[in-house]
Amino acid sequence: MSDTSAASGSLGPLAQTVIGDSGPTVVFCHGLLGRGRNFTGIAKALQPDFRCVLLDMPDHGASPWTERIDYASASALLVQQLETLATDGPVHLVGHSMGGKTAMTAALETPALVDRLVVVDISPTGAGEVGEFEHLISSLLAIDLDAITSHGQADAELAAAVDSRMLRGFLLQNLRRDPQTHAFGWQPHLEVLLRDLGTITGDVPHEGRTFDGPVLWIAGSESPYVTTAHEGPMRELFPRTVQVTIKGAGHWVHSEQPAAFTATLRHFLRAR
């Protein structure tokens, strides 16, 4: 396993973690408030058949911060990364939620770089989920980082706004302590994420383009993010879409049902 981190003050390459050194390359794009390593378990389960690259998306993890967030800009940074990874041919691209929309945009813009596309629990159209994420980001910003001394204290403070211990753990993975100053800070660019949330939860830009490669569209049975109303727009942009719904999973399908998710992903990526 190896890491390459982007310089924090520039729009350099996205930070990435590579798992495996043989087989076709699979690039993973995480969702809002996540980080590439959220797919570590899935990547390890795909060994030794695939070389997996886990990206920190722009304004998340160790990747650079930007002045504004939109899918055209995020896709441009993703495409820049794909160009360095696709030296032996197009890669498989997997994206969850926000990362799914970024992956869709990249596939529509540069189809030659993408062999197979996997979109996880998101559609190319706005899903009206602004309120949920607005609450989560605002709750993180409400924590007084100067007053806390541990992750446990931050968790206790966040519990008043977020009931789920699992969700709090997911959110607080973004809290980092500076090894020199010992001050806490957020890795994601929370203020800009909150400001541009309407764009993040909006439509994928496509300008009439389509992606004609194979597409796997994975939904969680308990998630509201993929509905029958989204099927038309999805198939219009991605005509070779195959939809699979994983039982017992909500929006974070890969973490809630990892075995079923991995089996579904492996079957699709191996198909010819």
Catalytic residue among 191, 221, 236, 267: 191
Active site residue 256: no
Catalytic residue among 30, 63, 92, 97: 97
CA distance 248 to 49: 27
Question: Token match 């039982």: residue?
Answer: 247
Active site residue 123: no
Catalytic residue among 109, 251, 254, 255: 251
Active site residue 109: no
The candidate with the shortest Cα–Cα distance to 63, out of 80, 77, 84, 45, is 77
- Do the beta carbons of residue 62 and residue 93 sit within 8 Å? no
**Catalytic machinery residues:** 97, 191, 251
